[in-house]
Chains A and B, each alone.
Chain A
């Protein structure tokens, strides 16, 4: 899968998944994001790079942070951006997904940013769009959330620099988390020394070991000596699915408290993709504490999305020039 996210010359044409990408490309995304992040400090927080491009945010599933930062990223690059909440629009009137897409293409769109509850939705759309359109996956089912993973890598790099020296723990519902999947792939490609996943058996994939990670069911053991702690959101529907006894018990076993955080390295950073459930997977004192970089992650999301948007549209231009 994802064979079509690169151009003939190996540049990003779509951004659908981290899987299969090479280290230099991930590094390029972060380097470009570093350049773009300085734009936010200027009087006019905008560059004209994507002037005249039209970007559709297609959100089939709710999102605040991701949709807003994609929108801001597009605006900082001077693109025209349109937000569509598809739940409340055409498909609810019976129009098929492809019909909706072709209609949007007919409005001369250059990019679709797609969030969908079904795994593989962005890939499916990428296979069916016109050749000049780029597709960016903003989260599909339990499959992938590549821009989130890249903003997390960017945040780690800002604090820790050298990936091979690092021990990173991801805590929580790994099984259902597209964020965790993309993070694990990115960490592995960047050559992180050790990746740990920590969670109850019911929320870890059966094949965890084959992902190249170390599995812990005991948080104290798993946090010992780590440089980075990534907490995942516990989705309420998991409780109803009888995978967990109660939120209270989950917090006792896998919630991040000040005491548990002391087991990690003294300069460890705490991350969370948001939205956070205070008192369920993370204590307020940790979320708001000195080791938390949760709000930095949000800021970095804008620069990472600017990087990915400009790289994919740039590669499209180049590809068309070659084929013209």
Chain B
């Protein structure tokens, strides 16, 4: 299977996602929330494509480090910037954005964190890449591209001079 890897490929996926977001949420004055760090990059690009007045406030970011389910196994995660939701979520429609949806655990943590800020009217999930390997009953509403990968493969978004996707085989290169 060919992976949409170049900057132009990613941009095409984002453009298609933006069209779908406009269809689904156009009349709802949604708020935009990106998951740190890849999800925030994708969210930023979507905001640029959709224009400044599509979303009702500036981009919010979530750092789900304190909501992960592996603390008792691997301890604290490296430091990252804290969550920042510059708006009240109560009774609002949220567009939650991440780069890659795999196990669903990150989204589970993000939903828990969002509900500690308040009670949104709805949450719509958009991901750049949806791949196999779900461990929880969580699905995305808006998907850039679905990809089937082997267990030892993993796909990673980078942001040096624009967004690019990279396919890595675990064990073959340095693991992160």
Q: Does B137 contact A (CB under 8 A)?
A: no
How far is it, in angstroms, between the C-alpha of A318 and the C-alpha of B76 when the chains are bound? 9
Chain A 257-278 per-residue mask, 1 if CB under 8 angstroms from chain B, else 0? 0000000000000000000000
Q: Does A291 contact B (CB under 8 A)?
A: no
Q: Does A234 contact B (CB under 8 A)?
A: no
Check if B79 sits within 8 Å of A314, measured CB to CB. no
Contacts of B87 in A (CB 8 A): none
Check if B74 sits within 8 Å of A38, measured CB to CB. no
Q: Given B66, B76, B79, B117, which contacts A48 in the complex, CB threshold below 8 Å?
A: B66
How far is it, in angstroms, between the C-alpha of A315 and the C-alpha of B76 when the chains are bound? 7
Check if B73 sits within 8 Å of A44, measured CB to CB. no
Residues A176-197 near B (CB distance < 8 A): none
Contact A314:B117 (CB < 8 A) given known A31-B79, A35-B82: no
| Chain B interface, >50% SS class | helix
Check if A38 sits within 8 Å of B83, measured CB to CB. yes
**Minimum CB–CB distance for A116 against chain B, Å:** 28
Q: Given A34, A35, A44, A317, which contacts B116 in the complex, CB threshold below 8 Å?
A: A44
Check if B79 sits within 8 Å of A28, measured CB to CB. yes
Number of chain A residues whose Cβ lies closer than 8 Å to a Cβ of chain B? 25
Check if B73 sits within 8 Å of A42, measured CB to CB. no
Q: Given A28, A42, A316, A317, which contacts B117 in the complex, CB threshold below 8 Å?
A: A42
**Minimum CB–CB distance for B81 against chain A, Å:** 8
Q: Does A321 contact B (CB under 8 A)?
A: yes
**Minimum CB–CB distance for A322 against chain B, Å:** 10
**Minimum CB–CB distance for A53 against chain B, Å:** 8
Residues B100-130 near A (CB distance < 8 A): 112-113, 115-118
Check if B116 sits within 8 Å of A42, measured CB to CB. yes
Number of chain B residues whose Cβ lies closer than 8 Å to a Cβ of chain A? 19
Contacts of A28 in B (CB 8 A): 79
Chain A 18-53 per-residue mask, 1 if CB under 8 angstroms from chain B, else 0? 000000000010011011001000111011111010
Contacts of A49 in B (CB 8 A): 66-67, 71
Check if A315 sits within 8 Å of B75, measured CB to CB. yes
Contacts of B79 in A (CB 8 A): 28, 31-32, 35
How far is it, in angstroms, between the C-alpha of A11 and the C-alpha of B72 when the chains are bound? 16
Q: Given A34, A47, A310, which contacts B76 in the complex, CB threshold below 8 Å?
A: A310
Contacts of A44 in B (CB 8 A): 115-117
Residues B68-105 near A (CB distance < 8 A): 71-76, 79, 81-84
**Minimum CB–CB distance for A183 against chain B, Å:** 25
How far is it, in angstroms, between the C-alpha of A46 and the C-alpha of B72 when the chains are bound? 18
Q: Does A311 contact B (CB under 8 A)?
A: yes
Among B71, B75, B116, chain A packs the most CB atoms within 10 A around the CB of: B75
Q: Which residues of B contact A (CB under 8 A)?
A: 66-67, 71-76, 79, 81-84, 112-113, 115-118
In addition to A49-B67, A317-B71, 13 A-B residue pairs with Cβ atoms within 8 Å of each other are A11-B75, A28-B79, A32-B76, A32-B79, A35-B81, A35-B82, A42-B117, A44-B115, A44-B117, A48-B112, A310-B76, A314-B76, A321-B74
12 contacts between A and B (CB under 8 A): A35-B79, A35-B82, A38-B82, A38-B84, A44-B117, A47-B66, A47-B113, A49-B67, A50-B71, A314-B76, A317-B75, A321-B74
